[in-house]
């Protein structure tokens, strides 16, 4: 099984599309779940990748709706938005065999345990990703910058053979993705939540690209304030950070392409449904529950309460 694994990418947006494209370029067995005109374009013309890391490619990937796909797969990457997670329960149940591993790659915290509760008997890990990737047209994905890092691992109590984790890591690394098996995925997914929350909320609040967060001033100070408050929440939750969260978040933000924006910000600008609940209001609710003071989060939330 570990020689040639079958991958299912559920949600072929910026994140899922980039994972699918990079795996496909390396000759891996990849199937995409998509919908609408994006799906039609991928079926008719292939998945088109514009990538700072890989260049220009058109890839003949297999693509289906969630309802159409009936095959069994070895690895399921869940790359939908947080508000769509519950809609893919039946797909996971139908496509998983006894050794299938599910890896959610979402911006919101707690997704692995949330999915595991809905699909008993399926091995559900957790994961997070650092990438600037987005749909740039029907059947087209753009990957910007030099960062493409995927972290995944099992929560305490979830048993998964090490050779499966390493086989996935090998496939991802052969595809040009910096893949890391996390010894503490609860910590690593919280750190990602802290970062993407501060990044997306700051960008949307001021309606600016990341280049404005990289300059000293009010915008950067807001990003720092949000990072500091989420770090305090993590500490209260008992998460042991290896390095200062604020310094880490600044290090990551300063490596991003200056013109990049978070997907939440893009969705808001288009009037689409966004992840504002998972990235802003869920953070506030969690902090309130723990008695953490969050003045910066409260300030920015006023703009988005409507």
pLDDT > 70? residue 3? no
pLDDT > 80? residue 83? no
pTM listed for this prediction: 0.89
State both tokens at 54.
Answer: 């890989």
What pLDDT does residue 190 have? Answer: 93
Question: Which segments of the chain belong to CATH 1.10.1040.10?
Answer: 187-304
Q: Residue 152's closest CA among 115, 192, 122? A: 192
User: How confident is the model over 122-147, as a mean pLDDT?
Assistant: 93
Q: What is the pLDDT of residues 166-191, one digit of tens each?
A: 999 999 999 999 999 999 999 999 99
What pLDDT does residue 256 have? Answer: 87
> 6-183 domain in CATH 3.40.50.720?
yes
| Helices 185-206 and 245-253: angle between axes, nearest 10 degrees | 60
Rounded distance, CA 103 to CA 178, Å? 16
> 187-304 domain in CATH 3.40.640.10?
no
What pLDDT does residue 306 have? Answer: 65
Q: What is the pLDDT of residues 46-79, one digit of tens each?
A: 999 999 999 999 999 999 999 999 999 999 999 9
Q: How confident is the model at residue 272 (pLDDT cuts 50, 70, 90)?
A: confident
Question: Which segments of the chain belong to CATH 3.40.50.720?
Answer: 6-183
The SS3 call for residue 86 is helix
Contact 133, 15 (CB under 8 A): yes
What pLDDT does residue 132 have? Answer: 87
Burial of 105 (0-12, 13-18, 19+ CB in 10 A): buried
Q: How confident is the model at residue 2 (pLDDT cuts 50, 70, 90)?
A: low
Phi, psi of 217 (to 5 degrees): 140, -165
State both tokens at 234.
Answer: 């993590």
State both tokens at 189.
Answer: 């997914």
Q: How confident is the model at residue 33 (pLDDT cuts 50, 70, 90)?
A: very high
């Amino acid at each position: 099984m570990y020689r040639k694994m079958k991958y299912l990418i559920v949600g072929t947006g910026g994140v899922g599309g980039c994972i699918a494209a990079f795996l496909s370029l390396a000759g891996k067995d990849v199937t995409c779940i998509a919908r609408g005109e994006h799906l039609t374009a991928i079926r008719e013309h292939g998945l088109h990748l514009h990538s700072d890391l890989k260049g220009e490619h058109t890839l003949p990937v297999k693509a289906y709706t969630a309802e159409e796909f009936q095959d069994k797969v070895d690895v399921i990457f869940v790359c939908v938005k947080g508000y769509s997670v519950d809609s893919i329960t039946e797909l996971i149940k139908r496509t998983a065999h006894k050794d299938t591993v599910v890896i959610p790659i979402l911006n919101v915290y707690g997704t692995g345990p949330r999915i595991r509760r809905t699909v008993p008997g399926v091995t559900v890990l957790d994961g997070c990703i650092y990438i600037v990737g987005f749909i740039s047209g029907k059947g087209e994905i753009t990957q910007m910058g030099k960062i493409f890092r995927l972290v995944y691992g099992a929560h305490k109590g979830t048993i998964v053979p090490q050779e499966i984790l390493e086989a996935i890591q090998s496939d991802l690394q052969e595809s040009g993705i910096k893949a890391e098996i996390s010894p503490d995925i609860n910590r690593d997914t919280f750190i990602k939540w802290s970062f993407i929350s501060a990044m997306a909320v700051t960008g949307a609040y001021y309606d600016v690209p990341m280049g404005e967060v990289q300059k000293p001033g009010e915008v950067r100070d807001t990003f720092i304030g949000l990072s500091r408050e989420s770090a305090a929440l993590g500490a209260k939750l008992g998460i042991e950070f290896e390095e200062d969260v604020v310094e880490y978040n600044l290090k990551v933000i300063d490596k991003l392409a200056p013109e990049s924006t978070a997907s939440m910000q893009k969705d808001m600008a288009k009037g689409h449904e966004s992840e504002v609940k998972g990235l802003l209001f869920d953070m506030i609710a969690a902090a309130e529950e723990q008695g953490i003071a969050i003045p910066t989060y409260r300030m920015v939330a006023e703009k988005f309460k409507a």
